[in-house]
Structure 1
Amino acid sequence: MSKRILILTPNPAHPSHHGRWPYVLEAYREALAGIDAEIFDQPWSEPVTEAFDLIVPLVAWGYHNAPDDFRAAMTALAGQRVFNPPEIVSWNVDKRYLRDLADAGIRIIPTLFVDQVSDSEVARARVDFGQKALVLKPVVSAGAKHTLVWEGDRLTDADAPPEGQAMIQPFMPAIQSEGEWSLLYFAGQFSHAVLKTPKAGDFRSQPDYEANLRTLEAPAAARALADAAIDFIGRDRLLYARVDMVRASDGGFCLMELELIEPDLYLTYDLEASMRFKDAVEAALHVCGCSSPDHVH
């Protein structure tokens, strides 16, 4: 009897449900073609009432629109075979997880976390970071939503600054000159690296904003940083991961984000990536490290 895989998809009540996720889901189905399992899908917002051999939140877009509901949905999956595990996924919802990584000695972009972005907090950050250009973003966000590069003096002049709890970071010039590196891991093992360079005049590295993406050999320092982030979670506890980073002024790398919920895995940019992803999923059907390490809550 073939096994059953459930892929979680967007909440129909959220804007993400009207996006291009069906094409992304179909791409994963194609990547998993030939696997000895039947693949199902349903919105992450609906209770899972049937038994599955593996549940994957890989297309759970829109979680940032209702983070508490999403965490509750993950908690409700306790006892099911979920990869990436619910505890790790819930931890990854709020970008304040970066503090845990920094505390473990993993180099992140210097970050000031605030309850609310204000002119005084911006001024404080400029003193701390020694530069005027800052990145302002919510601690719960996706796809660069409500993220902006800010060099102004009064936030009342800003176009849609983040509301509520947020993070302030120095703008990293390399994001425009070189780009953002994304290193992909399947079942804890490095798969491939993609360099994403924004179009001229932009800072957003997503394909949605016409960034240029290409597969390149990851620099040794980038691999070392990504490996440290993966080891922090535990290689046997991750089915998939994307480690995003940017080069700092000293030539080293700073972690931007550790994407463990629904990252684009950039399978089409590497000829063998789909096979490595398929092998990882097939292995996860038989071995699933669903508990969370002590340092991830």
Structure 2
Amino acid sequence: MVNKEAMSKSLLILTPNPDHPSHHGRWPYVLDAYREALAGIDAEIFDQPWSEPVTQDFDLIVPLVAWGYHNDPDGFRAAMQRLADDKRRVFNPPEIVAWNVDKRYLRDLAEAGVRIIPTLFVEQLTNDDIARARADFGDTLVLKPVVSAGAKNTVVWQGDTALPGETDVEGKVAGPPQGPAMIQPFMESVQSEGEWSLLYFAGAFSHAVLKTPKSGDFRSQPDYDARLQLKWPPVEASDLAEAALDFIGRDRLLYARVDMVRDAEGRFCLMELELIEPDLYLTYDLEASMRFKDAVELAMHVGCKCHA
């Protein structure tokens, strides 16, 4: 049981489902890094899999390490709904997290005037879909599942096949998505400049990282040996990130990572709005951990609009 006398507050971090292969050996180190970043906080920190019911009272629950949600999206949404029904204090809120599972959330942002990468959403990839996308976007396309993480089943498609050498973090050859998918133009600036990630804590800008894939690759994750460097973002990048956060309501977000890339005209386009378990790149800015810690402490002591 949580010892309320030992600490004035209690924090629960959600971790992977141990029954799924995604429960692999790296996430404990990520959890330890968050514990280190939150060292000295006036709270005792607990963790448990997101797939298990929360039976104790916590002052705050965060899905920071809820890896593998994309392998069981319905189960994950059900878990978030239980937390909402039980009126648990979850930050980011369950309804926002559940919305963020499926990348068709990008349509909502686009309809609100936030510039995204041009995207064709389909229920099942067909040759007609590929032909239609090429007519609009050009010959080289990016194919992604609408529910995915870590570039799983994301491929660059040129001609009749995926470009060679594309494997996932487990070393398996990546194939095109099965089921609901999204088709986008390949943004050449990913390889020439890189992908920008802007980090926000409690609605305020913290830091930004420019992620450039290794030569010959298009994936910007550290898992694929991309180069990451701390950079001050261009004004246009900040404007796009602010517009995305304003759509959600920045006072409802404990943390957010806004990923974007330039189009052929040099305009920034939203790639993803990461609100579940993004890498917050705390080690790239010496003061980022302190800003994150302050935001978490504020959420526990002041409260949040999780059920507004």
Shorter-chain TM-score category? Answer: over 0.9
Letter in 1 for 2:153: H
Q: Tell me how far 1:159 sits from its aligned partner.
A: 5.4
Q: Are 2:250 and 1:235 equivalent residues in the alignment? A: yes
Counterpart secondary structure, 1:150: strand
Q: 1:295 matched to which residue of 2?
A: none
Matches within 5 A, 1:70-109: 70-78=76-84, 79-109=87-117
Letter in 2 for 1:263: P
Q: 1:42 matched to which residue of 2?
A: 48
Q: Are 2:37 and 1:31 equivalent residues in the alignment? A: yes
Q: Tell me how far 1:291 sits from its aligned partner.
A: 2.3
Q: Are 2:142 and 1:146 equivalent residues in the alignment? A: no
Q: Tell me how far 1:118 sits from its aligned partner.
A: 1.4
CA contact (8 A) 1:175 1:246 kept: yes
Cα-to-partner distance string for 1:83-108 (whole Å, 9 max, x where unaligned): 00000000000000000000000000
Q: Are 2:57 and 1:51 equivalent residues in the alignment? A: yes
Q: Tell me how far 1:154 sits from its aligned partner.
A: 6.1
Cα-to-partner distance string for 1:22-43 (whole Å, 9 max, x where unaligned): 0000000000000000000000
Q: 1:212 matched to which residue of 2?
A: 227
Q: 1:290 matched to which residue of 2?
A: 306
For 2:159 and 2:83, how far apart are their aligned partners in 1? 45
For 1:263 and 1:208, how far apart are their aligned partners in 2? 13
The alignment of Structure 1 onto Structure 2 pairs a total of residues equal to: 290
TM-score normalised according to structure 2 size: 0.92
Q: 1:276 matched to which residue of 2?
A: 291
Q: Tell me how far 1:19 sits from its aligned partner.
A: 3.5
Letter in 2 for 1:251: G
Q: 2:217 matched to which residue of 1?
A: 202
Taking every aligned residue pair, what percent have the same amino acid on both sides?
77
For 2:189 and 2:113, how far apart are their aligned partners in 1? 22
In structure 1, list runs of 5 or more residues that go unmatched: 293-297
Give the superposed CA RMSD. 1.3
Letter in 2 for 1:151: Q
Q: Tell me how far 1:119 sits from its aligned partner.
A: 1.2
Letter in 1 for 2:76: F
For 1:19 and 1:164, how far apart are their aligned partners in 2? 29
For 1:171 and 1:19, how far apart are their aligned partners in 2? 32
Residues 216, 12 of structure 1: alpha-carbon distance in 2 compared, 3 angstrom cutoff: same
Match of 2:271 among 232, 256, 266: 256
TM-score normalised according to structure 1 size: 0.96
CA contact (8 A) 1:119 1:154 kept: no
Deviating above 3 A after TM superposition, structure 1's stretches of 4 or more consecutive aligned residues are none
Letter in 1 for 2:193: E
Q: Tell me how far 1:288 sits from its aligned partner.
A: 1.5
For 2:204 and 2:125, how far apart are their aligned partners in 1? 38
Residues 92, 219 of structure 1: alpha-carbon distance in 2 compared, 3 angstrom cutoff: same
Q: 1:122 matched to which residue of 2?
A: 130
